């Protein structure tokens, strides 16, 4: 099924597409429902793609608010339906130091390496994204999706990869694999090994995306332990003495901090996706005079 909805509340021109995963390839199965694709045809294109990975058990369309915000800034935005039924935090107390590493690799690439979860390559995040972008390019030419496909694969240099909770870790992992425009992490990652009292090893590996292109938005009251989240982010960002920046809805954010935090007490883990923090999202994707990573088009 390929369904286009003409309007979204508060964004009269927004175009929202819901794409059943099995329509993009016969060997891809739906987990919770359709993928989501959003853009505003009335806004000049930023020539960037915002890819969002939802948290454990969430549907792709639950990210409509943040997708719509980015669409309003000229981005094409997609959220994936993917295998997200097993908590990333299931590795927190593991005696296997590679537990998180294997968990991320299994879900992102489909490699048969994890004792926690099994995902075949067809249903991996990478394959789901590639098939969705090719499908959109073929079925919605007006959306300009072909700009984000090069030789049949995602053009990572034009992609901002983001995720919430479990999805934040997958986004960071993909940033290690490919040189993306930016990595945005919301309420995570959770990849801290309690028994070893340190972040999971994969986060310290050299990656394709510069550490300065990683940004995080956390909550001080997060039940998944904000101190461990900050430690994970510090490793990913190459910060020996990480500093956090307290933010408020609608207020200007000064400086060039990479770790933003709020202190809401109601629903803290989900607070980072509240539309009232649109100012924080905008900061994360525009902050700093950082090096450009967009590859030249042939």
One-letter-per-residue 3-state SS of the chain: CEEEECCECCECCCEEEEECHHHHCCCCCCCCCCEEEEECCCCCCCCCEEEEECCCCCCHHHHHHHHHHHHHCCCEEEEECCCCCCCHHHHCCCCCCCHHHHHHHHHHHCCCCCCCCCCCHHHCHHHHHHHHHHHHHHHCHHHCHHHHEECCEECHHHEEEEEECHHHHHHHHHHHHCCCCEEEEECCCCCEECCCCEECHHHHCCCCCCHHHEEEEEECCCCCCHHHHHHHHHHHHCCCCCCEEECCCCCCCCCCCCEEEECCCCCHHHHHHCHHHHHHHHHHHHCCCCCCCCCCCC
Of 193, 267, 260, residue with least CA distance to 230 = 260
Domain-located, residue 292:
no
Q: What is the pLDDT of residue 255?
A: 79
Task: Judge whether 156 and 58 are in contact, CB under 8 Å.
Answer: no
pLDDT band for position 123 (50/70/90)? very high
For 262, phi then psi, to 5°, come to -125, 170
Residue 291 lies in a domain: no
User: Cβ distance 176 to 209 under 8 Å?
Assistant: yes
Report, as an integer, the average pLDDT of 98-120: 97
pLDDT above 90 (res 13): no
Task: Check residue 101 and give its pLDDT.
Answer: 98
pLDDT band at 270 (very low <50, low <70, confident <90, very high): very high
Reply yes or no on whether the pLDDT at 4 is more than 60.
no
Domain annotation covers residue 245: yes
Residue 254 in tokens: 């000064």
Any domain includes 297: no
CATH of the domain at 168: 3.40.50.1820
pLDDT for res 297: 36
Average pLDDT taken over every residue of the chain:
93
> Which pLDDT tens digit goes with each residue over 151-188?
999 999 999 999 999 999 999 999 999 999 999 999 99
- Residue labelled with tokens 């909805």: 5
Residue 296 lies in a domain: no
Q: What is the mean pLDDT of residues 259-282?
A: 97
pLDDT over 60 at 91, yes or no: yes
Domain that holds residue 95: 2-286
pLDDT band (50, 70, 90) for residue 12: low
Q: Which tens digit of pLDDT belongs to each residue from 33-81?
A: 999 999 999 999 999 999 999 999 999 999 999 999 999 999 999 999 9
Q: How far apart, in whole angstroms, are the C-alpha atoms of residue 131 and residue 153?
A: 9
Domain presence at residue 298: no
Place of tokens 């249903």: 123
Specify if 156 maps to a domain: yes
Q: Could you give phi then psi for residue 120, rounded to 5 degrees?
A: -80, 165
For residues 68 and 72, give the distance between their C-alpha atoms in angstroms, rounded to a whole number: 6
Q: Specify whether the backbone of 276 is left (phi greater than 0), alpha (psi in -120 to 50) or beta.
A: alpha
| Global pTM value | 0.93
> Rounded to 5 degrees, what angle do the CA atoms 45, 48, 54 make?
120
For residues 167, 168, 171, 175, the Cα torsion angle rounded to the nearest 10 degrees is -160
What is the tally of structural domains in the chain? 1
Q: Is residue 125 in a domain?
A: yes
Q: Look at residue 158 in the predicted model and tell me its pLDDT.
A: 98
Alpha carbon distance 256, 237 (integer Å) = 13
């Amino acid at each position: 099924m390929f369904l286009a909805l003409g309007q979204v509340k508060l964004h009269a021109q927004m175009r929202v597409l819901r794409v059943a995963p099995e329509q993009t390839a016969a060997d891809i199965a739906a987990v919770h429902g359709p993928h989501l694709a959003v853009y505003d045809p009335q806004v000049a294109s930023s020539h960037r793609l915002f890819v969002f990975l939802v948290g454990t058990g969430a549907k792709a369309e639950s990210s409509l608010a943040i997708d719509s915000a980015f669409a309003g800034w000229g981005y094409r935005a997609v959220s994936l339906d993917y295998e997200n039924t097993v908590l990333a935090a299931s590795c927190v107390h593991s005696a296997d130091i590679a537990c998180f590493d294997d968990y991320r690799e299994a879900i992102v690439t489909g490699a048969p390496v994890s004792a926690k979860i099994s995902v075949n390559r067809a249903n991996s995040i990478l394959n789901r994204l590639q098939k969705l972008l090719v499908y959109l390019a073929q079925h919605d030419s007006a959306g300009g999706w072909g700009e984000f496909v090069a030789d049949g694969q995602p053009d990572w240099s034009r992609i901002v990869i983001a995720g919430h909770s479990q999805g934040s870790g997958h986004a960071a992992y993909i940033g290690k694999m490919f040189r993306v425009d930016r990595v945005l992490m919301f309420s995570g990652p959770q990849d801290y090994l309690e028994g070893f009292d340190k972040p999971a090893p994969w986060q310290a590996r050299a990656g394709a995306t510069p550490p300065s292109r990683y940004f995080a938005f956390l909550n001080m009251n997060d039940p998944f332990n904000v101190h461990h989240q900050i430690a994970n982010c510090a490793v990913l960002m190459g910060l020996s003495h990480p500093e956090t920046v307290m933010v408020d809805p609608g207020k200007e954010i000064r400086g060039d901090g990479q770790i933003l935090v709020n202190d809401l007490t109601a629903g803290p883990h989900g607070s980072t996706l509240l539309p009232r923090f649109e100012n924080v999202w905008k900061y994360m994707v525009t902050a700093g005079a950082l090096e450009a990573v967009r590859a030249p088009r042939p």
